[in-house]
């Protein structure tokens, strides 16, 4: 975010950030960011269903937008302009309070991500981006063409490891993701690398 913010400021461009996979998982500094998005699920661990939008300046209503999507309308309305789920809001509040009490986001996520990526690279896997340019919470593995990300993800599930692989953009590119979010178990990372290596060496047929 710091790098993108510096580039945007130098060019007088308003920076909008997708922080959905970062909020609740790692410390996030939104200074210099015009708009940032988040959700109630992912690393917050609350039920999905609430969208979060952060802004650093006043936003005026716009008649060019559908009313339900008009951020300015939400910002200027004293209460909620439309009915919201109080259950989802209370669940999100409980999740945020739990994160604060647990002193999260924790630097351990970054340390675990560094270790995980080192082990994966040592096992011959290609990590999509350099560590300094990606969120520690998400490690994306670009698999070789003869290893199916979908088959690999299914077999990992059978071994007890939940990874991300079903999204269309992941399947199309044959990528699989390991996400360090919520109350993941650090002692499972070693067995996960072993399982990934073992299954990949069996070369599941590409779909």
Is residue 20 within 8 Å of 38, Cβ to Cβ? yes
The per-residue pLDDT for 105 is: 67
Mean local confidence (pLDDT), 174-186: 90
**pLDDT bracket for residue 112 (50, 70, 90):** very high
Percent of the chain residues past pLDDT 70, beyond the cut:
96
**pLDDT bracket for residue 204 (50, 70, 90):** low
Q: How far is CA 106 from the centre of its chain?
A: 15
The per-residue pLDDT for 109 is: 87
Residue whose pair of structure tokens reads 């063409």 in the numeric block = 145
Mean local confidence (pLDDT), 157-178: 95
The per-residue pLDDT for 30 is: 92
> Which residues have CB under 8 Å from 17's CB, separation 6+?
1, 4, 30, 33, 35, 36, 37
Is residue 145 within 8 Å of 175, Cβ to Cβ? no
**pLDDT bracket for residue 102 (50, 70, 90):** confident
State how far the Cα of 158 lies from the Cα of 182, in Å rounded to an integer.
Answer: 21
Is residue 174 within 8 Å of 143, Cβ to Cβ? yes
The per-residue pLDDT for 184 is: 84
- Indicate if the alpha-carbon torsion angle 10, 12, 18, 24 is positive or negative: positive
Helix spans in the chain (H): 2-10, 71-76, 86-101, 107-122, 149-158, 168-173, 189-201
The per-residue pLDDT for 178 is: 96
**pLDDT bracket for residue 205 (50, 70, 90):** low
Mean per-residue pLDDT of the chain = 90
Structure tokens at 15: 């920076």
pLDDT in tens, 3-50: 899 999 999 999 999 999 889 888 889 988 999 999 999 989 899 999
pTM for this model (two decimals) = 0.80
The per-residue pLDDT for 2 is: 85
pLDDT in tens, 115-152: 999 999 999 999 998 888 888 899 999 999 889 999 99
Is residue 164 within 8 Å of 90, Cβ to Cβ? no
């Amino acid at each position: 975010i710091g790098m993108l913010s510096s580039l945007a400021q130098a060019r007088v461009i308003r920076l909008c950030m997708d922080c959905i996979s970062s909020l609740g998982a790692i410390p996030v500094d939104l200074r210099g960011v015009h708009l940032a998005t988040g959700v109630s699920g992912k690393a917050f661990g609350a039920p999905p269903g609430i969208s979060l939008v952060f802004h650093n300046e006043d936003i005026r209503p716009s008649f060019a937008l559908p009313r339900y999507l008009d951020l300015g309308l939400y910002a200027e309305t004293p209460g909620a302009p439309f009915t919201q789920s109080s259950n989802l809001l209370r669940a999100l509040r409980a999740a945020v309070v739990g994160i604060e009490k647990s002193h999260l986001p924790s630097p351990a996520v970054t340390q675990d991500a560094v270790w995980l990526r080192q082990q994966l690279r040592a096992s011959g896997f290609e990590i999509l981006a350099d560590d300094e340019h990606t969120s520690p919470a998400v490690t994306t593995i670009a698999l070789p063409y003869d290893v199916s990300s979908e088959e690999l993800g299914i077999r990992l599930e059978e071994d007890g490891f939940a990874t991300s692989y079903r999204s269309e953009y992941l399947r199309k590119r044959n990528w699989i993701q390991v996400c360090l979010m919520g109350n993941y178990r650090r002692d499972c990372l070693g067995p996960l690398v072993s399982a990934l290596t073992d299954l990949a060496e069996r070369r599941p047929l590409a779909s």
